[in-house]
Structure 1
């Protein structure tokens, strides 16, 4: 009997000493970026970080170039279980709730990615945004922000006086309202139509992307003026996962994904800052004129932006709550007067 008791005790101790086998999980994610795009390459590094830090416990199947569903449908695909996570951006979901504008592209708010990240992590933004995502059955994991976009133009664009009557390609939504407030003539058109529209003079300029990306698009083979550093638009991409899937992960798995995403966020902003600075030097040498708007003109743009903010903030309670959070934090940073 003593021997049996000793054996049973030894088995119990051994069972306690051996940890339970970790549950392996595969997460299906979709991004609108291509594998060869700089952000696509950083997403591949993110996947490697997650799989390495989890010792293979977490696998990620990434679908690049919106290969499963259209970019704007990625969020719904994650909600409905076709995918597990959405690595596109909140701005695509303003049709669900106008509040997504304030997590997708605040327009004229923050000057740098670091300020905008700081609202998320230190300005109460994460909790405020999480309520919006959770109401849709999703969990916001984090952002990636590549920095300010640059306006490209066939004529000088040195300040807000130059945008009066300026015909340019604009994405739909809040941006058109802001530039109309400043007297510009925004024309909503597909991204793929920009090059031909500039060549034929249908538009004077375009809001396409950041300076380095605009170089890659060949815009400065046609037009010779641009704003840099930008001031008007700094879109946030996000990682958002189905909440049931996220809640089903272990705490260590969630922390690994969060940590790897924060590394990605840092690398996206840092690498684009370098690429844009290199592009600026190259363009100046080639005779392209770059305009850094004055503090006064930036304030005038921000004034026009706030008119549009208030309108969008009135469109849903969640939009109003997010706008209030941004305004309070922008006030703390001295960027607006509350």
Structure 2
């Protein structure tokens, strides 16, 4: 009888421990701007969710929702995360809420991986501070390949942009298009194919592994002048992040750091694959003339400073630090 009582007591203790463990488990709502599950970005976010659940022994689980499956506009992801509507997100369109982030996407400012790394090292603390002001913790970011020029018309020089309507994703890209006589048009990705088909736009700034992966049939020409980079921040609601067990929080942060690096590598690899595939499908691809690149940069240098001056002293200060790091 005593043995049975001991066994029952042991079972109750075990059940209590199990229940306590279950009660402690945290379930997060995750969100990404991308609605295409096959992209390197979404695959990476899915890996983060899978690894977090496994490596925290189910202490933290993240249910990832693709773009447009929640009533959150892409431009509102920062705010939705800060408000706790979602706990974790990939945020490509954060610059409206964290304007300092736009420095990393200024046209012709950053021209290769080495320059990106130097500029990003300068920007990291300012990104963290900017997101913190929104009630958001900045965990890291992944980067898309360089945004280049895809068109429905023949193009092998910057002069060919004149008089044409080009889809852009930011005011900064728009300034570049205007500098060479084009008209920038802002559209969501889902609107681009119809706009190209109807002649609403004549081209787009994107990457082979980005928009051109889906729109290439409408864009038979590609002039590979590197306009700028775009990047997506990985963010968490600050209260949710701070409420995690320290070991769980450290595991999440480590996984995000590793996977964002991998997403960037995957995009770089896919850029080569898609570029080759598009060429084989008949796209005319022209590598940019170095003189054209220098000309574009010379046109943009005064604009960088005008942009920072209008944005305020903080932007001027940070831009100066980035330029110093880049030796420009």
Given that residues 27 and 61 in structure 1 are in contact (C-alpha distance below 8 angstroms), is that contact kept between their aligned partners in structure 2? yes
Given that residues 141 and 241 in structure 1 are in contact (C-alpha distance below 8 angstroms), is that contact kept between their aligned partners in structure 2? yes
Q: CA deviation at 1:259?
A: 1.9
Match of 1:70? 73
CA distance in 1, matches of 2:277, 2:98: 41
Paired residue secondary structure (1:46): helix
Q: CA deviation at 1:54?
A: 1.7
Instruction: Please tell me whether residue 211 in structure 1 is matched to residue 212 in structure 2.
Output: no
TM-score by length of 2: 0.82
Match of 1:179? 177
Aligned length: 305
Instruction: Please tell me whether residue 224 in structure 1 is matched to residue 220 in structure 2.
Output: yes
Instruction: Please tell me whether residue 52 in structure 1 is matched to residue 54 in structure 2.
Output: yes
Q: For 1:54-100, what per-residue CA distance to the aligned partner results, in whole angstroms no more than 9, with x for missing partners?
A: 222221122222433222222111111222223122x4442x45323
Match of 1:239? 234
Match of 2:32? 31
Q: For 1:136-176, what per-residue CA distance to the aligned partner results, in whole angstroms no more than 9, with x for missing partners?
A: 22221100112112321123322323223333222341211
User: Mean alpha-carbon deviation: is it higher for 67-76 or for 42-51?
Assistant: 67-76
Paired residue secondary structure (1:279): helix
Match of 1:107? 107
Given that residues 132 and 318 in structure 1 are in contact (C-alpha distance below 8 angstroms), is that contact kept between their aligned partners in structure 2? no
Given that residues 177 and 183 in structure 2 are in contact (C-alpha distance below 8 angstroms), is that contact kept between their aligned partners in structure 1? yes
Aligned with 2:316 (options 316, 320, 332):
320
Given that residues 51 and 57 in structure 1 are in contact (C-alpha distance below 8 angstroms), is that contact kept between their aligned partners in structure 2? yes
* Structure 2: runs of 5 or more not aligned: 1-19
Given that residues 118 and 326 in structure 2 are in contact (C-alpha distance below 8 angstroms), is that contact kept between their aligned partners in structure 1? no
Given that residues 97 and 316 in structure 1 are in contact (C-alpha distance below 8 angstroms), is that contact kept between their aligned partners in structure 2? no
CA distance in 1, matches of 2:198, 2:84: 45
Q: CA deviation at 1:269?
A: 1.9
User: Mean alpha-carbon deviation: is it higher for 41-50 or for 80-89?
Assistant: 80-89
* Structure 1: runs of 5 or more not aligned: 1-19, 332-336
Given that residues 98 and 316 in structure 1 are in contact (C-alpha distance below 8 angstroms), is that contact kept between their aligned partners in structure 2? no
Match of 2:136? 138
Cα distance change, pair 61–198 in 1 and its aligned pair in 2 (3 A): closer
Aligned with 1:151 (options 149, 157, 170):
149
Cα RMSD of the aligned pairs, angstroms, is 2.7
Paired residue secondary structure (1:124): helix
